[in-house]
Chains A and B, each alone.
Chain A
Amino acid sequence: MNTLIAISLLGILCLLLEVFNLRKAIVPVTAVGLAATLVYTISLLGTNTSHYNNMVVTNKFTIGFSSLFIVLTLFLVLLSADFYQKTAHKIADYVSIKIFLLAGGIAMVSFGNMAMFFLGLEILSISLYILAGSNPLSLKSNEAGMKYFIMGSFASAVILFGIALVYGAIGSFDVNQIYEASHSASTVDWFYIGASMISVGMLFKIAAVPFHFWAPDVYEGAPALTTATMSTLAKVVAIAAFFKLNRYLNGNMKEAYEVMLVVIAILSMTVGNIMALKQYNVKRILAYSGISHAGFMLVSLLNVNLYAPTLFYYTIAYATAGMAAFAVVIYVCKDKENEDIEHFRGFGKQNPVLGAVLTAALLSMGGIPIFSGFFAKFFIFNEALHSHYTVLVVFGILNSIIAIGYYFRIIGTLFSGQSVTENKKIPLVYYLVALGAIAINIGIGILPSIITG
């Protein structure tokens, strides 16, 4: 609870610093604030409390995910200073929106009441709409913002309708009562209709097939840092919230619901991967790869009582790899019109450190051992097989093979030919973020028990 308050205050502080003309201090102060909040949040580990009539709860699940979100936001904020150099007079807005986005994200995993959940969802979504369209001079950014706004608000409306139906069925927003209702035999039918609508909306938010069409366009059009936000932070928030919702909502409709989840997971993996093979824009590749990763993460929803550590592990592996990759992508494509794969030609030779980081990040996403992406996939396969979803494992393995195709194409380009990027001094933050993210990734790869234990 205090985490949420601290984050919100930090966002307001950002805006105040702008008023007092301390623009230069914004990024450092925010970063320190986030780090302090992170330490505080982790120190809460072991507590199990609820606040304000069970509006907000604190437990292992929320603390774990909140910490992850804070770390990701910290990386994003660090990158902001250099990324928004040309529009430095607006930096307070950009940074504070990211902080508010984080507040929304934390609300989305620590809710104890559907009202709180929806509040968090809207804070997160609206922040993202703004960020997607935050480059008004670019036609593509405008298009992305508009597209995302229309599609996203439609999905939000579906979720809201679902929540209303659930409320209509049981007369409460409280998750504990929802949980009981979902397990009771006497619950009226529209409860399930509502629960399904919430699921559909959430599937849109995590960009699972067939609700994925917005993702590539929006990812491509939005400014690169926003794409990084969407593909790491926002995706992880959405899947964690979806996971938590599932725990409360899907009690009685187990079988049909599981079949649906399996089908959507397989579709997401496969369609995302196959589409990614055809792409030549790195952002689009990462968007489609994100869709396929969403498919893998959906597998963990099949057993919400046991798989929370697995999902947590997967999200860390995915988000840190994504963050490391985007740190490099943002640097390489900073002054370029688009993110064509050709911009990366020879970059690995010119800058071995960042080249190695991008390689490592892609290898992690591709599931090559020692990077945590491999362990994440392994845990998912292991548990899917444990629950007798052999078909998921088969498709998961096939997809891991397909994915190698496009990840290795980027790696191959990275180290062949002559570099087209101007060789100049790279700001330190890029190294900091790229190496920091990949260090977390490899660290939990070598010692997975930190997370799963």
Chain B
Amino acid sequence: MNITILLILLGAGALATYGAGNKWAPKVALGFSILTFICALTFVNQHNSSDFIVKWFSNPNVSFAIKSDGLALTLVLLTTALVPIILLTSLNKEIKNAKSFYALVLFMAGAMVGTFLAADGFLYYIFWELALLPIFMIGLFWGDNSTGERKKTMMRFFVFTFAGSLFMLGSFIYLYQKVGSFYIADLYKANLNSTEQFWVFLGFFIAYAIKIPILPFHSWQAKTYQFAPTVGTMLLSGAMLKMGLYSVIRWQMPIAPLAAKEYGPVFIWLSLAGVVYGSLVALKQDNLKKLMAYSSLAHVGLIAAACYSGSQDAITGAVYQMVGHGFVIVGLFYCVDIIHSRYKTIQISDLGGIRTLAPKFTSLFLLVLVASIGLPGTFNFIGEFTMLYGLGAQNISYAVVGGTSIILGAYYMLKMFQNTMLGTTQQKPFDDVSWSEGFTLILIIGVLFYFGMYPKPLHDLIAPSIAQLNVYINPIK
């Protein structure tokens, strides 16, 4: 059995979901996503990181190449685990034209899994673009259009990301001219000089900086998160932006290590600027979804900084935090969605005193929240600590600035909690969490705390492949 079965499963799932009709679509989609997750889990247990290559077409020379090392498997596992959770969050909702919606979600999951597994630059690019289309459509056709800005926002999102990825394509074509192959192992050995590496690095950077997003390229993010339907926001923040971070480690740094060394600090500072900026802007937000978007910007900025540092510890921490952040942000957006489903508003100023009405929900929300601010015992603590350690070993000021994200994060998150959950009670009724809502949240919290206490399984999966990559990221001269 080969890992491409995941792609086939998700593709077939998308078709089956579309064929199942509006009534059955959510259940079929959920079934397929769980099946995929189980499959992914089996692959991780077998730990067969066998590569798989089939020739696709020649001239230019492109092959269907799959590489499933620990790094790729971690991200695949994250994606396939998040999709059923995300689907669970939407089960109780009325969704128009559900069969197309859920088919698009599975299709997107398939494309993301493909992006993480692809070992051929061209194939990788195709999956990368394929993942963009469904999320654009989900945002465009199912998004919130109360202010009439939806279309413009989604259009901007698409044009931004599409434009960025074309620069990446430019880099790939350039590499192909030099190396004569898109295969990742050949690209690692490309032997470019430092100027050439700089341009390749820059092309990649524009694509990833938009996707992640890193500071000057973030302008699409907050509004897209705000107007996309919650499922779309979760997919975007939980899984899709990990594509950018993953690609930094997988493609950008090892292919252009000299440029990464030389210009690394610039990109680290840009990422850290995002940390501070995101935290400060989050302080001022009144819209919960926007607050989460900016907090995500801050957290992801730190991960990006860790990736660009090139230090083995920081990168390992970054991968931890990708997993942690993926679960946390989905949990947070789900809490926001629960509030929205009760009160039809997510303005902090309109909320308050939910604790007395819904104690169970408040407790669960608090647990997700403390994970988000990286309290010891949660997986996010391990991620953030490892990253800050790795960054600090390189340059202590990175760690100092990066550390502000934890302090500020704790401040704005707890302040938000205080204003929404505590304080004066609104007399409007607030139903406590239903069985399925509670189950979903407990699932997320369970994962975060389990790995927070016992990160060894993930460490064993991630560390060897990072050590392998490190050979290319920090070449011995």
Give me the interface of A with B, judged by CB distance under 8 Å: 349, 363, 368-370, 374, 378-379, 381-382, 385-386, 393-394, 397, 400-401, 404-405, 408, 412, 415-416, 447-449, 452-453
Contact = CB atoms under 8 A, between A and B. Distances in A.
Given A363-B133, A378-B122, 10 more contacts: A369-B130, A378-B173, A379-B60, A385-B174, A393-B170, A401-B159, A405-B155, A412-B151, A416-B141, A452-B57
Given A397-B170, A452-B57, A369 B125 contact: yes
Given A369-B126, A401-B163, A447-B57, A382 B151 contact: no
20 contacts: A370-B126, A370-B130, A374-B129, A378-B122, A378-B169, A378-B173, A381-B169, A382-B60, A382-B177, A386-B177, A393-B173, A401-B166, A404-B162, A405-B155, A408-B155, A416-B140, A416-B151, A447-B57, A449-B58, A452-B59
B159 A404 contact: yes
A382 B121 CA distance: 14
A341 B338 CA distance: 39
Interface residues of B, number: 28
A408 B154 CA distance: 11
Contacts, number: 65
A381 B173 contact: yes
Contact of B57 (A385, A405, A448): A448
Contacts of A416: 140-141, 151
A398 to B, nearest CB: 8
B217 interface: no
A416 B155 CA distance: 14
Contact of B58 (A397, A405, A453): A453
A379 B170 CA distance: 12
A270 B57 CA distance: 31
B472 to A, nearest CB: 25
B129 A397 contact: no
Contacts of A379: 60
A405 B177 contact: no
A453 B177 contact: no
A405 B166 CA distance: 15
A368 B182 CA distance: 19
Contacts of B59: 452-453
- Leading 5 A-B pairs by shortest Cβ distance: A449-B57, A369-B126, A369-B129, A401-B163, A397-B166
B198 interface: no
Interface string B114-156: 0000000010011001100100000011000000000100010
Nearest to B126: A369
A369 B62 CA distance: 14
A382 B173 contact: yes
Contacts of A448: 57
A379 B173 CA distance: 10
B76 to A, nearest CB: 20
Interface string B355-399: 000000000000000000000000000000000000000000000
Contact of A385 (B58, B162, B177): B177
A260 B93 CA distance: 59
Chain A interface, DSSP helix/strand/loop, else mixed: helix
Given A369-B129, A370-B126, A453 B158 contact: no
B57 A368 contact: no
A447 B167 CA distance: 25
Contacts of A397: 166-167, 169-170
Contacts of B159: 401, 404-405
B37 interface: no
Nearest to B60: A382
Nearest to B203: A397
B176 interface: yes
Contact of A401 (B60, B97, B162, B174): B162
A400 B166 contact: yes
A1 to B, nearest CB: 30
Contacts of B163: 401
A344 B60 CA distance: 39
A385 B170 CA distance: 10
Nearest to A359: B137
Nearest to B145: A416
Interface in B46-87: 56-60
Contacts of A449: 56-58
Contacts of B56: 449
Given A401-B159, A404-B162, A368 B133 contact: yes
Nearest to B170: A397
Nearest to B150: A416
A193 to B, nearest CB: 37
Contacts of B129: 368-369, 374
B321 to A, nearest CB: 30
Contact of B176 (A349, A382, A394): A382
A397 to B, nearest CB: 5
Nearest to B167: A397
Contacts of A405: 155, 159
A378 B122 CA distance: 10
Nearest to B132: A368
A400 B140 CA distance: 21
Contacts of A349: 97
A349 B158 CA distance: 22
Contacts of A404: 158-159, 162
Contacts of B57: 447-449, 452-453
A136 to B, nearest CB: 41
Contacts of A378: 60, 122, 169, 173
Contacts of B158: 404, 408
Nearest to B151: A412
A384 B129 CA distance: 22
Nearest to A446: B56
A88 to B, nearest CB: 39
A378 B130 CA distance: 16
B4 to A, nearest CB: 15
A337 to B, nearest CB: 26
Contacts of B133: 363, 368
Contact of A415 (B58, B60, B141): B141
A403 to B, nearest CB: 10
Contacts of B170: 381, 393-394, 397
Nearest to A349: B97
Nearest to B137: A415
Contact of B155 (A368, A393, A412, A415): A412
A378 B158 CA distance: 20
A39 to B, nearest CB: 25
A449 B130 CA distance: 21
B196 to A, nearest CB: 13
Nearest to B56: A449
Interface string B169-183: 110011011000000
Given A397-B167, A404-B159, A452-B59, A385 B126 contact: no
Contacts of A452: 57, 59
